[in-house]
Chain A
C-alpha cells in the first residue's frame, strides 16, 4: 500500500537541510526550508524501508565501474 512512510524518530529535517545546503553550496531561502524538509523527511522514510532488507549493506551495488569500457 503506497503511503508516506514515517521518517526515523528524532530526524531534524529542517536542521539537516540548512546544514547540508551550506555544505554543498546550495542557497536555501527561509521560505523554502519547510517544503524541502518535508520532502527530505519523506525520502528518509523510504531510506528506512530499504534498511529492512536483510544484509543490504554488504550487497554489491548495482553500478560497477569497468575500466576501458569505451575502448571495448
Chain B
C-alpha cells in the first residue's frame, strides 16, 4: 500500500494510526533476525499514534502521511536518547535535546517514528557490518550484505516492516543499500534537506536521503521533508527548479560507468535505456578523478571530525574505522585543496552533459549483494576489494551534489536486486522521480521480501 493510501485509510477511519504502528512494531520484531533495528521506539510511537487517532476523531487534519510508520538510521537525533551513529565512540555523549529536523518534519506530516536502525560505524562503510551492533542482514538473502552505510533502514523497508525510512548518503550510503536490498532510494540535491540533528561524517558531502518502495512514496516523503531550517547553515535557499519536462530526454553514462559490470547490472542499464528512450551514451571524463577526490575529502574530513575522540578514547572506535580515521586526520591540505578544485571541475562537466539530457543514468553498483564477512568480490572476471569496488559508481557523482534516485529490478542470473542511478540537475528531484516512475512501469520495482516469500 502506498504512503498516500495508508494515510487515506487512516484519515477515513478504515484503519487507525494505532493499528498501522502496531503492525509495524510487530513486523520489526518478526524481522529481528535481520539485525536491522537497534532501537524500537514502541512507547513513543504508540503515544504518538494515539494522539493522531484522537485528532482524527475530533475532525482535525492529521497530515498527508497520517499513520505512516517510519524508521531512521541511528545517527538521527531522537529526543532523550544518545545518538549512537553505530559507534561506542559516541557512548558518553549527552542525550539529544530534541528530534532531528527530518523526524520533526515527517511527524508534523502525520508519520510516526517507530525505530532507529543499524549502520556502518560512523557511516564509514558500504557493507552494513558493525563491530558493536553486529551485521545487518539482507532480507533477500540473510547471508548477504544489505549494503551500507544506511543498512538497517534499507533492510527494514525491503523486508516490508516499514514503508518509509531515512538514511544519509556521503559516498553512496543511500544508493548502495537501496540497490543491494531492492528498494527505491533518493539522495536529494546537496543542501536541499536540513541536516540539523544528524550526526555528521563529512560536512561537504553529507546528504539526508530516503528509502521507500516506489518513486511516488519517495515524492510524498520528500514533500514533507523539504522545508527551510535556520539551524542548518549548509542548506540552500532561494532555489526554483524547472518544472518536469513533458518530453524527458535521457542519456546513458559510459566510460568509467561501463565496466566492470555483472551481467545482471549490464542488462538493467540496457533495460533502462530502452524504457527511457535513451539511444545516446555520454562520458563524464573526470569520473575516476572525481572518485579519488571524494575518497580524499571523505577520509580527511572524517578524520578531522573525529580527531578529538581519537585523541581522547581511540579504543572506543571499532577496528573497521579507527585507523582509517587516524590516517584521514593526517591528510595534507594540498590533497584536500586539490579535491575541492576537482569537485568544481567535475560539477561543471556534469552540468554540461545535462544540457542535452534531463536525466543521465548509470549503474548503482557493479554487482548484486555480496556475502557478509568478505573483503573481496568477483565482478565480470575481476577480483575487487569491496570497500573500493561497491561504491565506484556512486562516489564520483556524490561529489557533484546533484539529485540521484535508484530504481531496482531483479537480476535474471543472480535472482538478486540490482539498481540503476537516475541522475538529475540540481534541485530537479521531481524530474528524477518522474524518470523513476517511468522505469517502474518497465519493471524496475520490487515487492518487499516478506511478500515475495508469501507468494513463492
Q: Which of A20, A27, A53 contacts B345 (CB 8 A)?
A: A53
Whether B331 pairs with A50 at a CB distance below 8 angstroms is no
Out of A2, A16, A44, A62, name the residue touching B384 (CB < 8 Å). Answer: A2
Which residues of the partner chain A approach B337 to less than 8 Å between Cβ atoms?
Answer: 61
Chain A residue total in the interface (Cβ 8 A): 40
A20-35 residues at the B interface, CB under 8 angstroms: 20-21, 24-29, 32, 35
**Would B311 and A62 count as touching, CB distance under 8 A?**
no
CB nearest to B340 among chain A residues: A61
Provide a sorted-by-A list of 29 A–B residue pairs whose CB atoms are within 8 angstroms.
A1-B260, A2-B291, A2-B384, A2-B392, A4-B388, A20-B332, A26-B310, A29-B314, A32-B323, A36-B323, A36-B330, A39-B323, A39-B324, A39-B328, A43-B295, A47-B334, A47-B335, A49-B289, A49-B292, A53-B345, A56-B345, A57-B338, A61-B343, A62-B204, A62-B340, A62-B341, A62-B343, A63-B204, A70-B233
Residues of A within 8 A of B (CB): 1-5, 16-17, 20-21, 24-29, 32, 35-37, 39-40, 43-44, 46-47, 49-53, 56-57, 59-63, 69-70, 72
Contact of B388 among A2, A53, A56 (CB under 8 A): A2
Judge if B342 is at the interface, Cβ distance under 8 Å. Answer: yes
Q: Convert B303-322 into 0s and 1s, putting 1 for each residue whose CB lies closer than 8 angstroms to a CB of A.
A: 00001001100100000001
In the assembled complex, the CB of A67 is this many whole angstroms from the nearest CB of chain B, namely 13
**Closest Cβ neighbor of B337 among chain A residues:** A61
B341 contacts A26, C-beta separation under 8 Å: no
Q: Is B344 in contact with A59, judged by CB distance below 8 angstroms?
A: yes
Contact between chains at B237 and A72 (CB < 8 Å): yes
What B residues does A20 contact at CB under 8 A? 330, 332
Contact indicator per residue, chain B 343-354, by CB within 8 Å of chain A (1) or not (0): 111010000000
Chain A residue with Cβ nearest B294: A46
Residues of B within 8 A of A (CB): 204, 230, 233, 237-238, 259-260, 286, 288-289, 291-293, 295-296, 299-300, 307, 310-311, 314, 322-324, 326-332, 334-335, 337-345, 347, 382, 384-385, 388-389, 392
Residue of B nearest to A40 (CB): B327
Residues of A within 8 Å of B342, CB to CB, are 50, 53, 56, 59
Chain A residues near B260 (CB, 8 Å)? 1
Q: Which residues of B contact A50 (CB under 8 A)?
A: 289, 292-293, 296, 335, 338-339, 342
CB distance from B157 to the nearest CB of A (A): 28
Report the minimal beta-carbon distance from B70 to chain A, rounded to whole angstroms: 30
| CB atoms of A49 and B388 under 8 A apart | no
- Chain A residues within 8 Å of B259, by CB: 1
Cα–Cα, bound, A15→B151 (Å): 37
* Residues in A whose Cβ lies below 8 Å from that of B323: 32, 35-36, 39
Cross-chain contact of A63 among B310, B324, B340 (Cβ < 8 A): B340
A71 to chain B, nearest CB (A): 11
From known contacts A47-B335, A50-B296, A72-B237, infer whether A26 and B326 are also in contact, taking CB-CB under 8 Å: yes
Q: Are A27 and B341 in contact (CB-based, < 8 A)?
A: no
CB of A24, distance to nearest CB on chain B (Å) = 7
Kindly list chain B residues whose C-beta atoms are within 8 Å of the C-beta of A46.
Answer: 292-293, 295-296, 335
Contact of A17 among B307, B327, B347 (CB under 8 A): B327
User: Which of B330, B341, B389 is in CB contact (< 8 Å) with A61?
Assistant: B341
Contacts A1-B260, A26-B310; is A39 near B327 (CB within 8 Å)? yes
Known pairs A61-B343, A70-B230, A72-B238; list 18 more (Cβ under 8 Å).
A20-B330, A21-B330, A28-B326, A32-B326, A39-B323, A39-B327, A47-B292, A47-B296, A47-B334, A49-B289, A52-B289, A56-B341, A56-B342, A60-B344, A61-B340, A61-B341, A62-B204, A62-B343
Point out the residues of chain B lying under 8 angstroms from A57, CB to CB: 338, 341
B-side contacts of A27, CB under 8 Å: 310-311, 314
Q: For residue B347, which residues in chain A have a CB less than 8 angstroms away from its CB?
A: 62
CA distance A34 to B347 in the complex (A): 36
| In contact, B335 and A43 (Cβ under 8 angstroms) | yes
